[in-house]
Amino acid sequence: MVWQYPNNTLVTFSQFNATGAGYAPRPGEVEFRGTKGTLYLQWNGYEMVPEIITPNEFPARTPLDRAESKAYRKGAKAEIEAKKGTGGDSTALHARNFLDCVKEREKCNCDIETAHRDTSAALIGNIAFKTKSLLEWDGKAEKFTNHPAANSISAMSIARGTS
């Protein structure tokens, strides 16, 4: 997906499998895959798993050539170090931040306006995908200007997968 903002800034989202890791092999909310490894983010920490890189270039593997297949992983090594980190319960931390901000009349780490704007971009992308359309968004009116039917798709229907 590509989002183009008024100042001609482009933001893209792409899905590519750049590593040998299988689909969602670790539990997590977000995965970042790179050529040297995969970073899995969970609500209370992260795990960085290195990609095992082999110096052997090989054609498409076939079960008919077992000798070549056995040599495939010879000399394989990781270029980055495996790491794991943990943090506190993010729900408790968000609740504490909210209560502290109410008491001090400060802006929260993720106030409602920031959360709304962050979520809007992803929802607009999903609506564009579902309608198979290039959509134009009026941020002030919070409506699509070129696709009236897209305005009737709700965030809840996207979350449930029912639109």
Mean pLDDT by groups of 10 residues along the chain of 163 residues: 86 70 68 82 85 65 61 72 82 90 92 86 90 92 93 72 62
**Is residue 77 domain-shared with residue 141, that is, in the same domain?**
no
**Is residue 67 domain-shared with residue 113, that is, in the same domain?**
no
Among the listed residues 90, 122, 95, the one whose alpha carbon sits nearest the alpha carbon of residue 108: 95
pLDDT at residue 64, as a whole number: 62
Is 98 inside any structural domain?
no
pLDDT at residue 154, as a whole number: 72
* Domain of 80, in residue numbers: 11-87
Is 102 inside any structural domain?
no
Q: What CA–CA distance (Å, rounded) separates 136 from 39?
A: 33
pTM of the predicted structure, to 2 decimals: 0.55
**Is residue 81 domain-shared with residue 113, that is, in the same domain?**
no
Is 73 inside any structural domain?
yes
Q: Kindly give, in sequence order, each residue whose CB lies less than 8 Å from that of residue 136, ignoring residues fewer than 6 positions away.
A: 144, 145, 146, 147
Number of domains in the chain: 2
